[in-house]
Amino acid sequence: MIVQNQQEKVPVPESLTSLAERAAAVVLAVLGPKQETELGITFVDDAAIKMLNYRYRGKDEPTDVLSFAMNETVQEGEREVLLLGDVVISLETAARWAIEEGRDLHQEVAQLVVHGALHLLGYDHETAAEAARMKAQEEEILRLLG
């Protein structure tokens, strides 16, 4: 896992970075492909995610999380690694929603990492059935994460 912080509005303690890495690792351990897999997690602010949301989804507003699938296998020395994609999280939005929901920022970020990683694995929530399936997986992963 590669976690990058590209914003300065919300403090990012090591515990938040570690939790994001662990959350992604649990998703991959439970549901991911059997081959070695990497995914990126990037923390941004509302302005950056708003730009991405408009560019890729046509929505001119900030959102909490976006996923960008790559699904590309690369050779790294002797081994093949699947580059699954990137999960981009607005920490500004996550912090706001955590307050509104009465949750800790760490809990909110863990849920967003899991949600984004599930999208990279093909989960979606366009229909009620898809949403129920994805929600059940999110809850199970978060339970395993503790």
Q: What is the CATH number of the domain that holds 103?
A: 3.40.390.30
**Confidence bin at 146 (pLDDT 50/70/90):** confident
Backbone φ/ψ region at 55: left (φ over 0), alpha (ψ -120 to 50), beta:
alpha
Residues sharing a CB contact under 8 Å with residue 127, sequence separation 6 or more, in sequence order: none
b/e sequence 20-50, b meaning 16+ C-beta within 10 Å: beebbbbbbeeebeeeebbbbbbbbbbebbb
Whether the CB-CB separation of 98 and 16 falls below 8 Å is answered with: no
Which residues form the domain of 41?
Answer: 2-145
Question: Is 106 annotated as contributing to ligand binding?
Answer: no
Q: Is the pLDDT of residue 6 over 90?
A: yes
pLDDT in tens, 100-125: 999 999 999 999 999 999 999 999 99
Number of domains in the chain: 1
Question: Is 115 annotated as contributing to ligand binding?
Answer: yes
Q: Is the pLDDT of residue 92 over 90?
A: yes
